[in-house]
Every structure is written in C-alpha cells, then in structure tokens.
Amino acid sequence: MSRTQYEKVIPSLRDALLAAQKRLHDEKPFALAVVVTGLPAAGRSEIVNEFLEWLDPKHIQVRALQKLRRSSRAWPAMWRYWNALPARGEIAFFFMGWYEDLMRPALRRSKGTRQDLARAVQRIRQFESMLPRDGVRILKLHLTVDEAVQKDRIRKLREDKLTRWRVTHEERWLARHYDQVQAAAQSCMEATNQPGVEWCVVDGTDPQSRSFAAGKLLLDALEEGFSGQLPKFAKRKAMSVSGQVLSGSHPGERLDDDAYDEELERLRGRFALLTRRSRFRQHGAVLAFEGMDAAGKGGAIRRLTSALDARQYSVVPISAPTPEERSYPYLWRFWRRVPQQGEIAIFDRSWYGRVLVERVRGFASPPDWQRAYDEINEFEQQLVEHGLIVHKFWLQVSKDEQLQRFQERDHDTLKRYKVDPEDWKNRRHYDDYQIAAREMIRRTSVAAAAPWTVVEADDKKYARLKVLRTVCEAIERALD
C-alpha cells in the first residue's frame, strides 16, 4: 500500500473505530480481548501503539504478562489471565496472552512436554469457547514476516543505539531459529482454531498494509460483537438423574455433649497439624460448601477455621453477584479468590450457584447452566493440577428439619437476621433443589480430583465432625 493510499483510507477507518469504541463503552454489550502474537520484528508493538493512537486510551488496557510468569507460579497457570480480563465495555490487548504458556513447550519438542502441550491446548480451547458466551469476544492476530525481512529489521534496530534495547536476547534466539519458531506457531494456531475464535494472520512486511489490515480486523470484530451473533456451539443434554433421595439423617447414634467435644478437639488438632506440615506448603486447599438454607454451612466452617492460624486461610462468602462482577464471565469472581500454594480458601457457597440457584430460580438460561458442568470441571481440574486439594461438601437437611430451624431463628431475636424472604422463597423450591443437587453431584464429582461429600446435616454435631474428618483425610491422601 502506497503512502497516498494509506493516508486516504486510514482517517475513515480510524473514525469508524472510534465510533465503535464509543458505542461499546456506552452500551457495554461485551468486552473485547485482542491477543497479539507474532515473529520478532513483525510489528506487534507497532500495531498496538497505533491502536492506542487511534482509539480513546482511557478505555483500553494493554497486558504484557510475561513479567508475571515467575511471581504468579504460586497460582494455577490460567490465574493471571482470568485476573486480566476486560470488563464489558472495554478493550484489552494481550501481548502473547495465554499463548505464551503454549509456545514454550511447543518450541522444546521433547517427549516430556507432549502431555503438557496437549493439556495447554485443551485449557485454551475451553477458555476461548467459554469467554464469548460470557460476554468477552476474542480477536487473535498473528503477525508474520519472511526470514530475510526479519533479519534486516533486527540488524537495523541493533545498529542504532536508540533502538538497540528493543531487541532482547529471547528475540535474537527466536530469530536464529526462524523455521522452528514458524513451525511451532503454525502448530499452535492449527490446534486452537475453532468457530468464532479463529486466528487472523497479518503480513507484517509493509507497515502501512499491516496497519490497515489489523485495523479492519479490529473493526470487524467490534461490529460482529454488536450483531450479537455467536458461533453455534453443540447443545448439551442434561443427564438423566437417578431417583436417589439425599438424606439429612445419619444411621448412627447421636453423640452426647462430652463425646462430641472430645472428638471435635481431637479432629481440630489433627487438622491443625496437617496444615503445618512442610509438604502442605506445596499444596493448599479449596473447600466449597453448598447445601439447603439452614443446613449448617456456617457452623461447619467455623469449626474448621477455629483450628487454623488466621493468616493461613480466607473464608469467601458468596451471594448474588455485584454489578461489577456481572460485567465479567461468571467464573471470574472465583478465580480472583483462588488461594496460592500453602493457603486455604473456604467458600461459603461457590461457583455451583450457576447449576443450583441460577438454574432453579431461572436466573440463568438452560444453555448457560447446562454448559457450566464442563466449565466447572475444567476449573477444578486446573486447581488440582496445580497441587491444590479440592473438596466439596453438600450439607443435606430434611424439609421438616429446615422448617424447624427457620421457625427457631424467627423466634430468636439474635438469630432472626439469618432468615430473610429469599430463604422462604427458596424453600418453596426445595424439591427442585434436590433434583439439581443430585445432577450436580453426579456430573462434577471426580473421586481422584475434586470429589463431593454429602453430609447428613439434620444432626449438627454429626455434620461438623464429618466435615472435619473428611478434610483431614483428603489432606492426608494428598500429602502421603
């Protein structure tokens, strides 16, 4: 493209992009994540800099997360990308983005990395198929140049003292291994192409043609987002659920106060010692509590935390999402609270709200909650792969016992705050919750990774001891 042609077409393209960005910010129908990858000297930085000049930078984020690679090793691999997602109405540019973790093992080509590579591809495909359906559109740009052009540009940059800093040791290595890098990039792009999140390859040889092509792709991505059209993803059918009834009562005898206090103290001591073992620092734990209202989740959690150093754990109470949280994908607020290795996060209600209250009360559409089972399984699998111990508890209370607890709280001025109109509304859907809970447990209980434990909670003492005992056993299995 000649300079004259460039100067003719760029003003109208820039105006169209500015108008689209303003509409995006005003209406907030989606967010746009732009992943920019490419060969050294192909123009990645130049493209992003031009976009920052063309658009209003107040509503743009630029994410170069390579520097966080070392400091974020205490968290699962995808943690830093979830935390960097743009909110609805914003645009974020990611240098390499989540593809950095895929390119490195692809370049090594060793047998030991084949499984890592396959798993990285699986994580990315699931991540990129989920985001558009949760309001984050993705544009993937890969800039390329032939070897001769690359060498010439790197030589010129290194000869000039003012630009020498732009050529890093890593980029020089990548340039020396041009064919290997090209093959790895091609392999990664082929493995992660799927409907709606295809790769767009931009020739970086001519800077002016490169700018126009990238700008047009950005405008197309914004206009496609405004259209509201999504790729047609396969619909998942809900699994048939057995008629097994979750019971709130346990088969054993009720413990007297002295026996309960003695066993409680023994289990708390066991739990405390396990979390202080040196090997626990290589793990950490995520404990999720779900159950019917008044099932005793809070009481069970307090018996756990009373055994711990307050600096070692956090309790995360989950309620309806805030306006800020609704502007991100639904798993975003849970990824933000994932603990680092050696720490414990206890969720009082959790990401399972999508397939429980949102399903039962109609807050999520059937396609959204039906796909959530696979997304939740993938989320938990990533936590487990990082060494975190994941265990989930469903506290089951019978309908009669729940009513009795509601009435007792209503008559106790110190506990009346625990029952609100929403609790009584949920009680009207008790049977629907039972159906949803059975399906949830069946579809998301992986014995070796992130199992569920159903706790018979009509007897509070029994429930609290069972929770403590189960947590201790889960940690012992992981450490031994």
DSSP, residue by residue, 309-356: -TTTEEEEE--SPPHHHHTS-TTHHHHTTPPPTT-EEEEES-GGGGGT
Torsions phi, psi of 438, nearest 5?
A: -65, -40
What is the reported pLDDT for 411?
A: 81
The pLDDT confidence band at residue 413, using thresholds 50, 70 and 90, is: confident
Q: Both 285 and 382 in a single domain? A: yes
Q: Both 343 and 194 in a single domain? A: no
Q: Both 284 and 197 in a single domain? A: no
* Parent domain of 317: 257-479
The pLDDT confidence band at residue 188, using thresholds 50, 70 and 90, is: very high
Per the model's pLDDT, the better-predicted residue between 284 and 241 turns out to be 284
Distance CA(331)–CA(343), nearest Å, equals 20
Q: Is the pLDDT of residue 239 over 50?
A: no
Asked whether residue 247 is assigned to any structural domain, the reply reads no
Asked whether residue 249 is assigned to any structural domain, the reply reads no
Q: Write the CATH number for 94.
A: 3.40.50.300
Give the model confidence (pLDDT) of 121-154 as tens digits: 999 999 999 999 999 999 999 999 999 999 999 9
Q: Both 217 and 265 in a single domain? A: no
Distance CA(313)–CA(343), nearest Å, equals 6
Average pLDDT over residues 351-367: 95
Give the model confidence (pLDDT) of 294-321 as tens digits: 999 999 999 999 999 999 999 999 999 9
Q: Is the pLDDT of residue 382 over 70?
A: yes
Q: Both 268 and 354 in a single domain? A: yes
Q: Is the pLDDT of residue 419 over 60?
A: yes
Q: Are 232 and 34 in contact (CB under 8 A)?
A: no
Asked whether residue 245 is assigned to any structural domain, the reply reads no
Average pLDDT over residues 405-417: 80
Closest Cα to residue 62, out of 47, 40, 78?
47
What is the reported pLDDT for 408?
A: 85
What is the reported pLDDT for 474?
A: 96
Asked whether residue 251 is assigned to any structural domain, the reply reads no
Q: Both 282 and 425 in a single domain? A: yes
Q: Are 250 and 401 in contact (CB under 8 A)?
A: no
What is the reported pLDDT for 118?
A: 87
Count of residues for the chain?
A: 480
| Average pLDDT over the chain, rounded to an integer | 90
The dihedral formed by the CA atoms of 7, 11, 17 and 23, expressed in degrees to the nearest 10: 180
Q: Both 185 and 92 in a single domain? A: yes
What is the reported pLDDT for 231?
A: 65
Q: What is the DSSP letter of 283?
A: -
Q: Both 265 and 217 in a single domain? A: no
Average pLDDT over residues 168-196: 91
Q: Both 216 and 268 in a single domain? A: no
Sheet with 389-396, side-by-side order of all strands: 313-317, 344-348, 285-291, 389-396, 452-456
Chain centroid to CA 427: 31
Beta-carbon contacts of 261 under 8 Å, excluding residues fewer than 6 positions away, are none
Q: Is the pLDDT of residue 243 over 50?
A: no
Q: How many independent structural domains does the chain possess?
A: 2
